[in-house]
Structure 1
Amino acid sequence: MSDHEASTTIDVAPNILWDQLSDLDHLAGSVPWLTSLHRTAEVPTTAQGPEARQPHQAVHEDVDVTVGGGHRAGWIDVIDEDRVLRWGMDGPHEYHGELIVDFVADGTSKLTVRVHTIAASPVDDELERTLSAIKATVEHHQPTEA
């Protein structure tokens, strides 16, 4: 078993970064190794807004993900108030992780990704590539001021 963590700063306000990364309908466009992600059930009522759940309660969604050409069942928990997205996938590698968006300064965020797996792959290198790709994608696609 191994735990891995990597962080980067991103020149985007935390609320904007969080909105992009917590939008499950568009998450695959931000994470390079994630080919597709589809909900396998209706959007839960707790996803309708903070008034529909307890403070800091996760919105749990079961998903089907495509990674490297293979489909896997998984889950995602989104905790809006804490800007935390946790995930896991079924399979032999006990793979799960979380991403956290933190405030650094006006217009700057810190993105941290933690992964737990028993896979023997080069996870640290993949985390760095993932963070670099997210940073480039998000900074490049910022809304422009009118």
Structure 2
Amino acid sequence: MDAHEASITIDVAPNILFDRLSDVDRLPEYLPWLTSLHRTAESPVTAQGPEARRPHQAVREDVDVTVGGGRRGGWIDVLDEERTLRWGTDGPHEYGGELTVGFVADGTSKLTVRVHTTAAAPVDDELEHTLTTIKSTVEHHQPTES
């Protein structure tokens, strides 16, 4: 299995960046290769907030994703305290990864993405494109108020 890693500095505070990226429903806005993402089950009770789970316990969401015209099942783990999002998909090629949001300075974050896959694809180019898209989207677009 090949491992790939890339990082980028983003002019958004780490807590705000992670809040945006950990919103599972909005991931297709940030990930150019992800056509759609749908939960396959109700959000677990642990998704209701840190008080509903043990410290450093991940919130797992089971999802269906559409990538390049193909649909497959998968999962996403959100670890709020570590500002980490992990994922994996089912299918013929093992695929998974994680993103971590780190602190650089006031109002600046370091986003690191690691991808593990057995697929023969230009992963490094796609990873750089994904990071650039995330940076552009979060720096130049204000979040919509709910």
Would you call these one fold, judging by a TM-score over 0.5? yes
Where in structure 2 are there 5+ consecutive unaligned residues? none
Aligned to 1:20: 20
Aligned to 1:88: 88
Q: 3-state DSSP class of the match of 2:24?
A: coil
Aligned to 2:103: 103
- CA offset at residue 92 of structure 1? 1.4
Q: 3-state DSSP class of the match of 1:32?
A: coil
Where in structure 1 are there 5+ consecutive unaligned residues? none
Contact (CA 8 Å) 1:95, 1:117: kept in 2 or not? yes
Q: 3-state DSSP class of the match of 1:93?
A: coil
- CA offset at residue 142 of structure 1? 3.3
- CA offset at residue 68 of structure 1? 1.0
- CA offset at residue 102 of structure 1? 0.5
CA distance in 2, matches of 1:122, 1:29: 21
**Taking structure 1 as the reference length, what is the TM-score of the superposition?**
0.96
Aligned to 2:42: 42
Q: 3-state DSSP class of the match of 1:55?
A: coil
- CA offset at residue 40 of structure 1? 0.2
Stretches (4+) displaced over 3 A: none
- CA offset at residue 105 of structure 1? 0.4
Aligned to 2:131: 131
Report the number of matched residues.
Answer: 143
Letter of the aligned partner of 2:72 in structure 1?
A: R
Instruction: Give identity over the alignment, percent.
Output: 79
CA distance in 1, matches of 2:45, 2:7: 32
CA distance in 2, matches of 1:62, 1:95: 15
- CA offset at residue 104 of structure 1? 0.5
CA distance in 1, matches of 2:142, 2:56: 27
**Over residues 85-121 of structure 1, what are the superposed CA-to-partner deviations in whole Å (9 max), with x where a residue is unaligned?**
0000001111000000001100100000000001110
Answer yes or no: is 1:58 the counterpart of 2:51: no
